[in-house]
Structure 1
């Protein structure tokens, strides 16, 4: 009996129009272009303007997927969206995207798992397909982090950017597709990347706004310590559980958190930098959108060939972490 898997049939991405350089960032923080480029690896990032939001970027990325796959929107049976800053707290971002795509009937829901969210979303979509529930699922990571940033905070403002990426997963009985996943979360690090107000526990108030408690807070040192341990662990675990080894890897698609961090982790795994790609210099850290944005760029550049074994890895707020193994 053939094993059912999910495979990617297309990918897409969308970036805001406004490009924000380090020179502009430095208008409100005490730092330097050299520090930002050396310590983080970012030269510029995209910030959404007043007309762009999580759903609008997600819609653009989704339409790209549909066009590349040459399929009708109505053939999509489910939509899973990873989003940290949704348009509102009523209708899900997935529901807004579904309506804009003109899909009459399909399952939609959002998930929140920080920068690891897209890996989690793909795991859910893969489970839908492998279980036989659906045969075609649209997965989107869309983030508008700029709205949550404190422009006076050096520990967050230079790091992040906005964007969206998407893939369409489809049923397959061939050898290609997802070979395995490894996901988890360490709740002891809930306060490492967070905001102090804006939820039900601490609603927005005049005082919280004045203290900038609604803005994203990040302990960069703690993130580094966590990520440099969990990145290699995630890569090794998904390989082991799928019956492969480091020697089998052709490429690593990493969350674009920090250029130095990615290079450090690749070195820790004894993998050459030629087996990964970095685009944080152009987009900053786009949270759960970073992995699908990078993947879409790589697909458009025809980087992968049949038989290639690729590891996806991400980590973020929660502290969450996840990896996926994919065979072309």
Structure 2
């Protein structure tokens, strides 16, 4: 089965990716936090082929290949983890792209696979802990005990243990263009002990019903507020909205405080994000935008990104959560 063309959204560059680059550049020169440093670094290493794949850590998308491109990458994830139970989700569907068109057929399933592991390095040396490996065999998707490193499958490390939760089940894949496809998903529980993580702000967030008009309105209005901050170059309000996330990111990478991070990325001048490009219009309609809800209905965002410049060449993609009083906050800026 062939599907509609992927669209004319152009080459997408997320602000989150820009931040990751900044993180690597400023590194050790920043002032260290007074809090205890993390004992280990944690990197998610993954590989996918012939797939639409979305890999989430505690509800936040770390990788999404909305154009079914082959990928083998690694991403730092310490800022998305906590001591105790963490959930890594594989959301996927066999697909292949040719001439800007997606195809979902038996040929796509022929070479389909996706797999991920966590590489940990620190006080106990370096370890690789397998999360999961999805293959297509005997007319169905299977989670198999196979290592991405082509060694013996190993789901246990010194302070990390992984186990699959339940079976592969039906789900929905939403591309960053807002297209919807029937898909499959499987969750893995990643238990981590004895490190100096901060508590995830959205771990105890309120679950939401995205069909509730009041919830939709709050999400839409939050995007409008952020767009207004950028249009007016209201750096104080923009920084306040994302400060907790930036402070947490700076902490886990040993970059000092959120203030150091804000200074390095010049976040107090948000209109520089898409400097020289036309700011896209945003008029919400159900035909143009799709709500993506993850993490037991605790995280939500709109796709395609309402904060974008010139056919999504650059975009800012915040994920939001609701506190117990149903006030909405930005949990993270995703890098997919």
TM, length-normalised to structure 1? 0.25
Q: Return the index of the structure with the highest Cα Rg.
A: 2
Higher RCO, 1 vs 2 (CA within 8 Å, ≥6 residues apart) = 1
Bigger share in helix? 1
